[in-house]
Each structure stands twice: as C-alpha cells, then as structure tokens.
C-alpha cells in the first residue's frame, strides 16, 4: 500500500512549493516507513505459532509459523527439544531447536499439552546452589 501511495504523496509535496530540502526529507520519511514497517512487523510476529499439531503415534508436535514472504514454516519437535527460558523474553513462550515460539494457553483445546510443553508436569527447579556462597 505504501508503494502505491508514494507517487501521490510526492506529487502533493511538490505542489506545496516547499524547498528542495524539505521535499527530500519528506520523501525520505515516507520511504523509510514504507520499507521499515513490514520488517519491524515481521520481527515481532515471526515467533507467533499459527497452528500446532500433535501426532500421538510419534509423540511429535508440529508448530506452524509465518515467514517474511507469507509462507508457512513448519517446525516438528519433541518434548526433549523444548527449552523454557530462565528469563522470559518478549513474545517468547518456549524455545524449540533454537527457534523462539510464542503461544497462549487459550490456543490449546487440550490444556494437558500446554502443561507438558511448559514443563508444568515436572517438579519445580528453584536453581538453588548446592554450596553456600563464599563470603
């Protein structure tokens, strides 16, 4: 949409009779937002899981996310591949094979799968040190 509007916006700027510096600056601002906005949106939404499947025969989950070119990226994984980050990152629920994924509990029909993926079925590890710190 931004590419279609650029000639119209540039023509309107030229009609106002502003200086050439103002025209160049205005054109640069329009082009910046035209090309940077899709990249920024992709950066934040590439982690969002669109669909997740579970195959009980192989005990494998398959997460489907979007790529920059609006195609589907399929990521099959097992529970052993899931890492829960110690410090939660923005838009990251779990990390699978180095890929951060973002999903919500409302996404699941069977909440038991969410609990397994998040590690809620395991004992809590408070990560306490075995040895007291030296003073």
The pLDDT assigned to 40 comes to: 92
Separation CA 54–CA 1 (nearest Å)? 38
Give exposure, 87-107, as e/b (b: 16+ Cβ within 10 Å): eeeeeebbbbeebbbbbeeee
Higher per-residue pLDDT: 130 or 112: 112
Residue 17 neighbours by CB distance under 10 Å: 8
Residue 65 neighbours by CB distance under 10 Å: 20
Question: Cβ neighbours of residue 44 under 8 Å, at least 6 residues apart?
Answer: 91
30-84 pLDDT, tens digit per residue, is 888 888 988 999 988 899 999 999 999 999 999 999 998 889 999 999 999 999 8
Task: Say if residue 94's pLDDT is above 80.
Answer: yes
pTM: 0.70
* Domain boundaries of the chain, sorted by first residue: 2-43, 51-118
Q: Per the structure block, which two tokens stand in for 58?
A: 């192989």
């Amino acid at each position: 949409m931004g590419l279609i509007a650029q000639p119209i916006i540039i023509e309107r700027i030229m009609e106002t009779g502003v200086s050439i510096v103002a025209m160049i600056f205005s054109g640069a601002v329009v082009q910046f937002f035209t090309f940077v906005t899709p990249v920024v949106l992709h950066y934040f939404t590439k982690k969002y899981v669109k669909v997740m499947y579970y195959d009980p025969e192989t005990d494998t989950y398959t997460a489907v996310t979007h790529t920059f070119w609006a195609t589907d990226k399929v990521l099959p994984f097992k529970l052993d591949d899931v890492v829960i980050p110690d410090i939660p990152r923005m838009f990251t629920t779990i990390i699978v094979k180095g890929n951060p994924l973002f999903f919500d509990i409302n996404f699941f029909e069977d909440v038991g799968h969410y609990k397994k993926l998040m590690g809620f079925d395991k004992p809590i590890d408070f990560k306490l040190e075995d040895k007291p710190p030296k003073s």
